[in-house]
Structure 1
Amino acid sequence: MKYRSRKFEILDMLLVSVPIPLSGILGVYLAYKNLRIEICLGLLVLGLGISAIWTIWTCAEDRKIEDRFKKVYEEKEKIRKKADVLQEANVYLKLRLDDKEREFKELKRQNDYLLRCIKNEQ
């Protein structure tokens, strides 16, 4: 999972793929010119080092970005679970309200009946 800008991707490509072949070519050229082999190997190691350091740094940055996305996702999941619980509670309370309304209507009907009975007796 990489979340980088296009400029960063180009820089990444250049710093990983260019130093190794460039230092290798330069090392071979200097060996051809009869320079000391230590200098040639040093250039190759320098190219490898630049690429390795850049790769390690970008991997660490990717890990930080992934950790942030993971935390956001976990928070989102917690909120979604809470919303689900609240939705279930809402449905339960609506059902209870419907039951109480039916019960109230029944009691009101009974009350009206009793009032009519009392009125008729007087």
Structure 2
Amino acid sequence: MPIIKILPHPEYCPQGAQVSAPAGTSICEALLENNIPIEHACDMVCACTTCHVIVREGFNSLNELDDNEEDLLDRAWGLEPNSRLSCQAILAQQDVTIEIPKYSINHAKEKH
């Protein structure tokens, strides 16, 4: 099973974390199943950017981005070349290292 290394994030995992998940699992699902409460306002249907992550290692092992994910990522806070929506990034056999950005665009959480 691949391992996801999560770099420290002040809200979700201040010490960082490592979790394992079967290949074929999305990064978002793996985090949630391991009690790392990453935001996912659209319930993982690729309709927002709240589950945005930056893949620091293992980016090329993930499935290809589709057009919908690419379009949404353009709106993500802190976009980088190795950004993915964690609900759409499906694990293969290789380990990955991710960073959860400091901010996300979540109007419900921001009480707008």
TM-score by length of 1: 0.17
Say which structure, 1 or 2, has more relative contact order (CA 8 Å, 6+ apart).
2
Max Rg structure: 1
Pick the structure with more strand per residue.
2
Pick the structure with more helix per residue.
1
